[in-house]
Chains A and B, each alone.
Chain A
C-alpha cells in the first residue's frame, strides 16, 4: 500500500487531491505547513510527497532541503505543486531535488494523479518541468 504525503495549506486543494488519490488506493497523510510535513515524513515514511511551496511556518523549499539532505529520505519522490509559475522558482525547486513541478492552475488534476501513479509504480523518474 502506497503512502502519499500531501503538503498543502489550502484545505480545498487537499480535499481534491485526497479524494482522487484515495480512489486510486493510496493512503494519504496531510501536512498544512513545512514543519508538519517534516514531522509526518519522520512518522509515516511516505512513498511520495506532494509539496506546495508557499505555506505558513516553514515553506516547501525548507522541506525539500531537509528531505534531500537526509540519507534515509533522499530517495522519496517529491512532486512540487505550486501556483508560483516563475522560471526562477521552478529552477530553484528542481535544483534542490524536486522530481517534478506542476503549476496547479495550468494542469488538470488527472495529470497530477497519473504522475503520482507513475512514480509509485517506479516508472517516471525523469526530471522535467511541467510549468
Chain B
C-alpha cells in the first residue's frame, strides 16, 4: 500500500482497523490511484527533465506530454474528489489552517464542525484557531512547535467548543508549503474527551486501588510484624514456662527440704525448755509450745485464741507495761525484761521474757514472738543467797565497825591521851582494820555479782554529768594524795549513752582510785571519753608505777595484785579490777588497758551506746 495512504488510514482508523468490503475496494482503488500517480509523476519528471534537455521543439512530443499531463490531472481531480468524499464522511475532524498565534481555518470537514458545535462550516471558518483553545495562548506554542518540527503527532490539547464545552483533542498535523511558498497546517483532530475521562477514571481507580493496595500492604506488614511479635512472645513464654517449670521443680525440692527443716524446727520449738508463744499483732495467742503448759499450767490449746497478757498476767507496775508496749509496738524492737506472771493455779512465778515483733515487708507488725524463761527457782536461790550474803556481811562488818570506832575513839583522845608508841600501834591496828573492812565490802560485791541473776536497770546517761559525779567523789581522794585529776571531756559535745549508771560509775571509780593509788605526788591523771561507732570509750590515764609486762594478763584475776603494786601499796584487796571486770560484763562493756612499768597505765572501758531496747540488761 502507498505509504501516505497507509499512514493516513492508520492514523484515522487505528493500527488494526477493519473495514467493510465496500470500503476495502474503495481503499484499494485509492491506493491504485496513488501508486499510479506516483509512477506517472515520476515518469513525467523524467521526461520533463529529458525534454528540457533536448529542448521542447518537438510539438508532437509536447502535445503527447500535454495530453498525458491533462490525463493525469484529470485522474488526479477524480482521485481528489473521491478523497474529498472520503474526508467528508470521516468521523474524525480534518482541517487545514494557517500558522500564527491565532491562525484561521482554511478547510474543515463536517466532523470537526460538529465537534466544535458550529452551526455551519461558514460559521466555523470565521473563528480563529486560538478561539478553540481553552487557553488561547497555547495555540502559539503549538504552532511554533509544528513550524519547528514539521510534524506533530498525537498532541493532546485542551480545547473548547464554540458553545463552551471543554473537550480534549488529539491532534496530528503536518506543516505544508504550497507552490507559492505559503505555509499551512494540515491536521486531524480526534475527540478523546471521553477516553481521557475514562483514562482519568481508570487512573483514579488505579490510584485508589494502589493506595488501597499500599494500605493493605502496610496493614499486612504491620500484621506480619505483630505476628512476629506474637511469635517472639510465644517463644519467650515457652522459654519462661520451661524456666518456671524448672524453678517449680527446684522450689518443690526446696520446699520439701524446707518442710523437713520446718518439721525439725517445730519439733525443736515444741520441745524447747523455754516457753515460746506466737501471738498476732493484738497479742492473741496463735501458737504455744509444750513449755507453756509446764510454766503457766495452761495447755497450748487452752491458750490459743486468748490474749496472752490476760491469761498469765500478774499485776506489775503500770510503767512496766507502758514501757513494754512502747518498745514492741511503737519502737518495734525486742523487749527483754524480768516479769512476774501468774500460773493457772494462781501461784506467781518470775520469768525473763523476751518479746520481738515480726514485721512484714512494709514494716507492719504481723506477729509477736515471745519467749519466757521461768527463773523462779533461780530467783529463790538468789534471794536466799543474797539474804545470806547480806547477813554475812552484816555479821562481818559489825565487829570490824566496833574495832574501827573504838580505835577512832582512842585516836580522838576521848578516853585520854596516848603516848607516841601507843599512837603508832593504834594507827597500825586502824589500817589493818580498814583493810579488812574493804576486803569484806569488795568480797560481798564480787559474790553478789558472780552469782547474780540480777538485771541491771538502764538509764540515759550524760557522759559529762557522769564525769562530774565521778570527779566530785574522787577529788577529795586525789587532793589527799596530791595528784591532779584532769577532765579532758569537759567542753566536748553532748554525748549520751543508755546503760546502768551505777555500774559505769563503779568501774570508773575503780580506774581512778587505782590511778590515784599508784601515782606519785604531783602526777596528773587524765579522764576522757571518745565516741566510736555505736559505742563510747572511757579512758583513765596515769603516769604511775605501771604494770609489769609479764603480769599484765593476770590483772583481772580475783585477788591478783601486781608485784610492784603490792610493794607500793601493801593494803590493796586485789578485787577492784576483778569487780570492775564483772560489772563491765553486766553492762555488755569491755575493759582493756595499756601499760608500761614505771611509765603509767591507761585503762579503757568500752560500752555500747545503747544495749537492746528493753529497760534492762539480759544477763543470763
Residues of A contacting B400 in the complex (Cβ-Cβ under 8 angstroms): 105
Q: Which residue of A lies closest to B448 (CB)?
A: A86
Which of A82, A83, A108 contacts B408 (CB under 8 A)? Answer: A108
Q: Quick one: which of A13, A54, A83, A105 has the most chain B CB within 10 A?
A: A105
Which of B393, B408, B441, B444 contacts A16 (CB under 8 A)? Answer: B408
Decide if B409 touches A16 in the complex (CB within 8 Å).
yes
Within residues 6 to 33 of chain A, which ones have a CB less than 8 A from any CB in chain B?
Answer: 10, 12-13, 15-17, 19-20, 23
Determine if B348 is an interface residue (Cβ-Cβ < 8 Å).
Answer: no
Residues of B contacting A106 in the complex (Cβ-Cβ under 8 angstroms): 437, 441
Determine if B414 is an interface residue (Cβ-Cβ < 8 Å).
Answer: yes
Say yes or no: A105-B401 contact (C-beta < 8 A), given A23-B414, A83-B393. Answer: yes
The number of A-B residue pairs with CB atoms under 8 Å apart is 64
Residues of B contacting A117 in the complex (Cβ-Cβ under 8 angstroms): none
Q: Which residue of A lies closest to B398 (CB)?
A: A83
Decide if B414 touches A105 in the complex (CB within 8 Å).
no
Within residues 22 to 47 of chain A, which ones have a CB less than 8 A from any CB in chain B?
Answer: 23
Decide if B397 touches A105 in the complex (CB within 8 Å).
yes
Residues of B contacting A84 in the complex (Cβ-Cβ under 8 angstroms): 390, 394
**Interface extent on B, as a size class?**
20 to 34
Determine if B440 is an interface residue (Cβ-Cβ < 8 Å).
Answer: yes
Residues of B contacting A104 in the complex (Cβ-Cβ under 8 angstroms): 397-398, 401, 404-405
Determine if A96 is an interface residue (Cβ-Cβ < 8 Å).
Answer: no
Question: What's the least CB distance linking A106 to chain B, in Å?
Answer: 7
Determine if A66 is an interface residue (Cβ-Cβ < 8 Å).
Answer: no
Residues of A contacting B401 in the complex (Cβ-Cβ under 8 angstroms): 13, 83, 104-105
**How far apart sit A1 and B105, CA to CA, in the bound complex (Å)?**
172
**How far apart sit A103 and B400, CA to CA, in the bound complex (Å)?**
12
Residues of A contacting B397 in the complex (Cβ-Cβ under 8 angstroms): 83, 85, 103-105
**How far apart sit A42 and B408, CA to CA, in the bound complex (Å)?**
32
Decide if A110 touches B398 in the complex (CB within 8 Å).
no
Decide if B406 touches A16 in the complex (CB within 8 Å).
yes
Within residues 396 to 417 of chain B, which ones have a CB less than 8 A from any CB in chain A?
Answer: 397-398, 400-406, 408-409, 412, 414-415
Say yes or no: A12-B408 contact (C-beta < 8 A), given A84-B390, A103-B397, A105-B440. Answer: no
Decide if B412 touches A105 in the complex (CB within 8 Å).
no
**How far apart sit A103 and B390, CA to CA, in the bound complex (Å)?**
13
**How far apart sit A20 and B412, CA to CA, in the bound complex (Å)?**
9
Say yes or no: A54-B406 contact (C-beta < 8 A), given A83-B401, A105-B400, A105-B401. Answer: no
**How far apart sit A106 and B398, CA to CA, in the bound complex (Å)?**
11
Determine if A127 is an interface residue (Cβ-Cβ < 8 Å).
Answer: no
Q: Which residue of B lies closest to A15 (CB)?
A: B406
Question: What's the least CB distance linking A30 to chain B, in Å?
Answer: 15
Decide if B406 touches A110 in the complex (CB within 8 Å).
no
Question: What's the least CB distance linking A108 to chain B, in Å?
Answer: 6
Decide if A109 touches B408 in the complex (CB within 8 Å).
yes
Decide if B412 touches A12 in the complex (CB within 8 Å).
no
Within residues 428 to 477 of chain B, which ones have a CB less than 8 A from any CB in chain A?
Answer: 437, 440-441, 444
**How far apart sit A106 and B408, CA to CA, in the bound complex (Å)?**
13
Query: Which residues of A are at the interface with B, using a C-beta cutoff of 8 A?
Result: 10, 12-13, 15-17, 19-20, 23, 54, 82-86, 89, 103-106, 108-110
Query: Which residues of B are at the interface with A, using a C-beta cutoff of 8 A?
Result: 390, 393-394, 397-398, 400-406, 408-409, 412, 414-415, 437, 440-441, 444
Would you mind naming 20 contact pairs between A and B with Cβ atoms under 8 Å apart? Answer: A12-B406, A13-B398, A13-B401, A15-B406, A16-B405, A16-B408, A17-B405, A19-B414, A83-B393, A83-B394, A83-B397, A84-B390, A85-B441, A104-B405, A105-B397, A105-B398, A105-B400, A109-B404, A109-B409, A110-B412
Q: In the A-B complex, list the 5 residue pairs whose CB atoms are closest, starting with the nearest.
A: A104-B401, A83-B397, A16-B405, A105-B401, A12-B402
